[in-house]
Structure 1
Amino acid sequence: MKFIQNLLLYISAFIPMYFLILVNILLDILNHNLTFNVLNTTMCITLTILIISGIFGVVWAIKFNSYKTKKIIVIEKKNTTDEHFLGYFSLFVLFALSFELEKVSEACVFALILILVGIVYINNKLFYINPFLNILGYNFYDIKYKLENDTMIKTAKIFYRGNLDLSKKYEVNLKNENFSFLSKP
C-alpha cells in the first residue's frame, strides 16, 4: 500500500505536464493537425488516467493518510519553494515541448523517461518536489521543530498552505522526513 501511495504522489508531481500535453494533443486534433488514431487516443486516455490518479494521490496524502497526527512547535523555517522552480520548469519544457508523442518511438521514450525519473523520485523520497501542490497554494519548507511536550529538535520537509509562523503550534502527519503536511490545530 505504501508503494502505491508513493507512486501516486510521483504521478501527481507531473499533473501540470500531463495536462499541457493533453491540451496540446487535443488542440492538434481539433485543428486537424492530428487524427484520432490508436496512438493519440491511447495517449489521451493515459494522460487523463494519470491526471485523475495524481489528484487521487494528493487527496489521499492530505486527507486520508493513516499516519498519527502530532502537535509540534516550529522553531526554524526556510521557504524553499522557489529553489525547485527552475527544475520544475526545465523538466516540463523538456517533456511538453520537445516530444512529438504522435510518433510511437517518441511516446516510448517519453514513457521510459517517466519510469526512470519515477524510480529515482520514489527511491530517494523526493516527494517534496511537486509543482502540483505549489499550484494548489502549498509552500514547501525545511523546518526545525520539536514535539509539543519534548525538547529534542528534529528536522523535516513539509508542505503548508500559507505562511508558516515560528513558535506557533501546528498539527502534522509525518509520512517521513521528506514529505509531510502541516495544518493549524
Structure 2
Amino acid sequence: MNTKPYLKTVLYILSLWLLFVSLLIMSYDKVLIKNIWDYLFGENFSFTLSSLRVRNIVFLFSLIFIIIGVFILIILANSFGSGWSVACTVSDISNENHEHLEFLTTYIMPLVFTDVDSKRTVLNLGLMIFIIGAIYVKTNRFYSNPSLAILGFRIFKANVHDRGVKKCTVICRGVLESNSSIKYIKIDNETYFAKII
C-alpha cells in the first residue's frame, strides 16, 4: 500500500482553518470590501495595491487560505474514493483524541489575538505559521488536527493486523473497538486513515 506524504502538508493547512477564520474576523474592514466592490462593479473607480493596509493583506490572505481549505476538503473526499487496503482488524486500542485539543491550545490560540495592524506582528505570525508547520510535519503530529475533529474524525493508537501486527495511529470516523474491521490508506508508515466496515 503506497503512502501519501502530500497529505501531511494538506492536513497542516487544514488544521489552520480555524486560525484563518479568526484572523478574517479580526482583520475585517468594510472600507476594503466597499473598495473592492466599487472596483469590480463600479465605474471610473481606481483601486491600487498601495492603498492596502496591513490588516487588509491579512484579510485577503486569510480569505485565500479559507478557500484553499474548502478545496482541500473536496480533494480529500475524492482521493479517498479508491486505494483502500484489504479488510483487517485492530486490537489494543487507546483513545488519543486529546491531541486535537492540545494542538489547538498550544499552537492556534496564542496566534488568534494577533495585532493585525502591525507589520512586525504580522511578519512574526507568518514566521510562526511556517515554523509550526515544519515541526508539525517533521514530527508526524499532522494528525493533531482540530478541523478533523470538527468533521467527526477521531484519533486512536491501535495494533493493525494486516500481514503481521503493527502499532499505528489510526484516524477514522466513529468509535474504534477491539476486533473492529477496517480498511485503511497509509499517510506514512505509522499513520493510517481508516474507515470502519
Report if TM-score (shorter chain) is over 0.5. yes
Shift of 1:178: 4.4
Residues 29-66 of structure 1, C-alpha deviations (whole Å, 9 max, x = no match)? 35xxxxx8332222111111212223333443453159
Unaligned runs of 5+ residues in structure 2 are 31-50
Aligned to 1:156: 168
Q: How does 1:1-185 map to 2 (within 5 A)?
A: 5-26=7-28, 29=29, 37-64=52-79, 68-70=83-85, 71-97=87-113, 99-147=114-162, 150=163, 152-185=164-197
Contact 1:78 1:142 in 2 (8 A): yes
Shift of 1:182: 1.2
- TM-score, normalised on structure 1? 0.82
Structure 1 CA distance for aligned equivalents of residues 109 and 130 of structure 2: 18
User: Which letter does structure 2 place at the counterpart of 1:41?
Assistant: N
Contact 2:172 2:195 in 1 (8 A): yes
Shift of 1:129: 1.2
Contact 2:174 2:196 in 1 (8 A): no
Residues 116-158 of structure 1, C-alpha deviations (whole Å, 9 max, x = no match)? 11111122222111110011111111111111xx3x2112112
Contact 1:127 1:178 in 2 (8 A): no
Unaligned runs of 5+ residues in structure 1 are 31-35
User: Which letter does structure 2 place at the counterpart of 1:15?
Assistant: W
Q: Larger Rg: 1 or 2?
A: 2
Residues 76-126 of structure 1, C-alpha deviations (whole Å, 9 max, x = no match)? 2111112441342232221002x2022111110000011111111122222
Aligned-CA RMSD value:
2.5
User: Which letter does structure 2 place at the counterpart of 1:20?
Assistant: S
- TM-score, normalised on structure 2? 0.77
